[in-house]
Structure formats: C-alpha cells, structure tokens
Chains A and B, each alone.
Chain A
Amino acid sequence: AQKVTQAQTEISVVEKEDVTLDCVYETRDTTYYLFWYKQPPSGELVFLIRRNSFDEQNEISGRYSWNFQKSTSSFNFTITASQVVDSAVYFCALSEALYNQGGKLIFGQGTELSVKP
C-alpha cells in the first residue's frame, strides 16, 4: 500500500538554526515521484520540489536541500539558517506512476515548523 509518514508533527527552532523535516514513504511501484509542498498560514500550497525514483542525487536550492535515499525510503528536507518566514506546515507527497494514471498525490500528515526570532 502507498503511504507517506511525517513523524514530526511540530518542530520549533530559533532563527538561524538548521532544521530537518523527515519523510518516509511506502510504495508498490518502482517508478514514482516525491514532492515537498509548503503551506503558510494563508493556506495556499506552494510547490517546492519534485524528485523521481530514478534520481537519487541530492538537491540544493538556496537554503533548502533535499536528501533522497531509496534504501531507507526517505526523502528528507533540510532548511539551513532558518528564518521566521519559513514558518509553515510542510507536506511530503508521493505519486505512483504505474498504478496512478491520474497523477493522484498521497500526502503525509504534515510537519508544522515554527521559527522564532
């Protein structure tokens, strides 16, 4: 069965600290995509990254970095030197290619990140 687990429901850090948000997934498919989205208090969902199952290279975008490890079925997200504007709920999501013709996203429960000044 397909599933996404974000074990950390809430994380609180002080500005400039580094923080890692964990994501573990389960899938029956060999071809799949993983995503991270940010949901600020205003409610909209902001796309951050997509990674396919054949690309295990880590990615860095500014203060954001992602670590994809198929061996542990994890796709963790690190924010370096966190800022107050990073405060939001972050969702990890999975989309299977073979069993999902419609692009359906399966979301984790989300991690609420609070960055205090």
Chain B
Amino acid sequence: SAVISQKPSRDICQRGTSLTIQCQVDSQVTMMFWYRQQPGQSLTLIATANQGSEATYESGFVIDKFPISRPNLTFSTLTVSNMSPEDSSIYLCSVVGPTGDRFEQYFGPGTRLTVT
C-alpha cells in the first residue's frame, strides 16, 4: 500500500482566513482524492485531483471555495478558503494504490480543522 502523509495534522483557524492542506505520497499514484468528514458524520468526496489539469468537483463543492492543485504524481494540496465554522471537519486525502487498480484506495491520516 502507499504511505500517505498530510500537513498540518490539525489546525485552529479564524473565520474568514484560508488554510492549505498538503498531501504527500511515497510513490507515484494515478489518482488522488480529497474527502471531507464533518463532525460525527460520514465521509463525502470533495473532488478528484487531476495531475496537470483542473480538479473534478462533486456536486455541492466549488473551485472558489476548495481550490486544489496537483503538480505531480505524488503531491496535492487542498485549500479551504474564506473559512466559516461550518468548515470545521476532518479533511482526508486518498489515493489509488500503486497497482493502479482504481478500486484499491488508501487514506491519509487526515487534517483536523477547527474554525472559530
């Protein structure tokens, strides 16, 4: 399986500010995803991070609020912009495993964000 790290692991931010979360994988992977887990809730896919092109967003998520970059096959960032308390969540990066099987998906440790 791929080893995934995320920075920061947690943060407390003021409303109206932005936070950029980094996801680093120890090997090249074909697909990277960003999920959100609101308190006490399940995980919801925000977007697929595409290498060299714009991310593909799920319904209810927009680029202006959650800009995503993926400059290469091992790294991606998610920015949470103009934050409000409703953005308090765990944000998780996930990747398709090194075999390229798109149904073999692994998750990073998550970034726990609190917005005050």
On A, residues with C-beta under 8 Å from B are 33, 35, 37, 42-45, 47, 50, 52, 91, 95, 97, 101-105, 107-110
B110 and A110 contacting across the interface, CB-CB below 8 Å = no
Instruction: From B35, B41, B92, give the contact of A109 (CB < 8 A).
Output: B41
> Chain A: which residue is nearest B104 at the CB level?
A50
Also in contact, A103 and B107, with CB within 8 A (given A43-B112, A47-B1): no
A103 and B42 contacting across the interface, CB-CB below 8 Å = no
- For A50, the chain B residues whose CB sits under 8 A away are 103-104
Interface residue ranges of B80-103 to A (CB < 8 Å): 90, 92, 94, 96, 102-103
On B, residues with C-beta under 8 Å from A are 1, 31, 33, 35, 41-45, 48, 56, 58, 90, 92, 94, 96, 102-110, 112
The complex places the Cα of A44 from the Cα of B94 at a distance, in Å, of: 11
Mind listing 18 A-B residue pairs with CB under 8 Å? Answer: A42-B109, A43-B112, A44-B109, A47-B1, A47-B105, A47-B107, A52-B103, A95-B105, A101-B102, A102-B33, A103-B31, A103-B103, A104-B48, A104-B58, A105-B35, A107-B42, A108-B42, A110-B42
- For B110, the chain A residues whose CB sits under 8 A away are 43-45
Kindly provide the distance from the CB of B107 to the nearest chain A CB, expressed in whole angstroms: 4
The complex places the Cα of A91 from the Cα of B107 at a distance, in Å, of: 13
- For B109, the chain A residues whose CB sits under 8 A away are 42-44
Please list the 4 inter-chain residue pairs (A to B) with the smallest Cβ-Cβ separation, ordered nearest first.
A103-B102, A45-B107, A107-B42, A44-B109
Kindly provide the distance from the CB of B10 to the nearest chain A CB, expressed in whole angstroms: 9
